[in-house]
Amino acid sequence: MTIASRPPSIGNAEREQRLDKLRRTMTASGVDAVLVTPGSNMRYFFAEAFYESERFVGVLVTADRAIFICPKFEESAIRAKFPMASDMAFWEEHENPFALIASLLVEAGCRRCALDPDCSYGHAACLFDALTELEKPVLYGSAAPIIAPLRAIKSQAEIDLMIAAMRLTLSVHQTVFEWIRPGVKASAVIAEIDRLHRAGGADGGNSFCAVQFGEATSHPHGVPGDPALQEGELILIDTGCTIDGYNSDITRTYALSKLDSEIERLWHAEKQAQQAAFDRAAIGTPCEAVDKAARDMLVSHGLGPDYDLPGLPHRTGHGIGLDIHEGPYLVKGDQTPLVAGMCFSNEPMIVVPGQYGIRLEDHFYMTESGPEWFTQPQADIYRPFG
């Protein structure tokens, strides 16, 4: 259950290519600089997410520089964490880091600066005030339209890391299915899943874990409490881990003993909706069309329509990568055309309020010839792993 062959981490050569693409997109968008702040965008471009605090740390990307900005006393830590940190600008504890950023923008002749969408409002407001005082550079707004399209299309190296993470999580699911029994508490299941992810070689334990029994399965993200599994209850487990920062996210819904025939019928409806979404995915197809395919299948089974319950209360899927939920999304209104390299969850959950819920979640990535599963979908309600 360990990772048989751990894929290589993303190297500096690929990160340099990402920066080149960022700069080309900046030019096409009329943006002179992008300020990257702690979070997944920082990890995407510079290998380390770091963390946001009252002491500003960030990277100012211009047409020809990537300037790491940090408190002077953090220099050694930044150099250790960021192998690409060769060009640095420092501020001392009594100084205003946003005034430093503003001055760097003036020196570089930048008029339009786009801000990392992960940046806090507080830091954004401080930068706006510093720019206003100079009366020269203009804060352009969010860098999301510049960065998100780059991150949406994964390289083979990124896909390989997610394949490894997904396979590990799927093997954890299978081990737990063979282990779980009536009387075990949800917290014990979560602890066992965490142990298995760690033993398997994930970055840490679970990146998240939801374990729901019986009526609790009707709440898409669960409810508080630590129930014990009762005989004859439906089991829903949604969990994942990360490998080199890239996420897995798989849900299985099953039972250990015979259930009501209506639950069995809707379990098969769920499986058909998941397959309908997969079958609709094709290069050039709008994201929202994949969501519609799943909903149309559920309507044919007497569920919905739209978000009506019993039926599907949320979108069919989300993008995935360094963030477990990232754009684009398989949802009405998202007209982004599918292109090779995009990766999505496929989870058109069925909820019967106050009774139970059924979610089968696997992910697929787009190739030029169509979608490919990261993990094969669940086989059966009673034999989920064949």
Report the pLDDT value the prediction gives residue 5, as an integer from 0 to 100.
78
CA distances from 317 to 5, 117, 135, 320 (A): 28, 22, 44, 9
Report the pLDDT value the prediction gives residue 3, as an integer from 0 to 100.
65
Report the pLDDT value the prediction gives residue 386, as an integer from 0 to 100.
78
Backbone phi and psi for residue 380, each to the nearest 5 degrees, phi listed first: -160, 155
- Order of strands across the sheet that contains 370-373: 326-330, 317-319, 343-346, 362-367, 370-373
Report the pLDDT value the prediction gives residue 140, as an integer from 0 to 100.
78
Report the pLDDT value the prediction gives residue 134, as an integer from 0 to 100.
81
Provide the CA 147 distance to its chain's centre, in angstroms.
Answer: 15
What gap in Å lies between CA 204 and CA 48, rounded to an integer? 16
* Residue 339, C-beta contacts closer than 8 angstroms, at least 6 positions apart: 153, 283, 284, 366
| The overall pTM is greater than 0.75 | yes
CA distances from 72 to 77, 89, 93, 233 (A): 10, 8, 8, 58
Instruction: Write down all domains in the chain, each with its CATH number in brackets.
Output: 12-150 (3.40.350.10), 153-373 (3.90.230.10)
What gap in Å lies between CA 321 and CA 50, rounded to an integer? 17
One-letter amino acid of 172: V
Burial of 51 (0-12, 13-18, 19+ CB in 10 A): exposed
What gap in Å lies between CA 319 and CA 331, rounded to an integer? 11
Report the pLDDT value the prediction gives residue 1, as an integer from 0 to 100.
52
Report the pLDDT value the prediction gives residue 250, as an integer from 0 to 100.
98
Report the pLDDT value the prediction gives residue 23, as an integer from 0 to 100.
98
In this prediction, the residues of the chain whose per-residue pLDDT falls under 70 are: 1-4
Q: Apex CA 29: angle with CA 328 and CA 156, to 5°?
A: 45
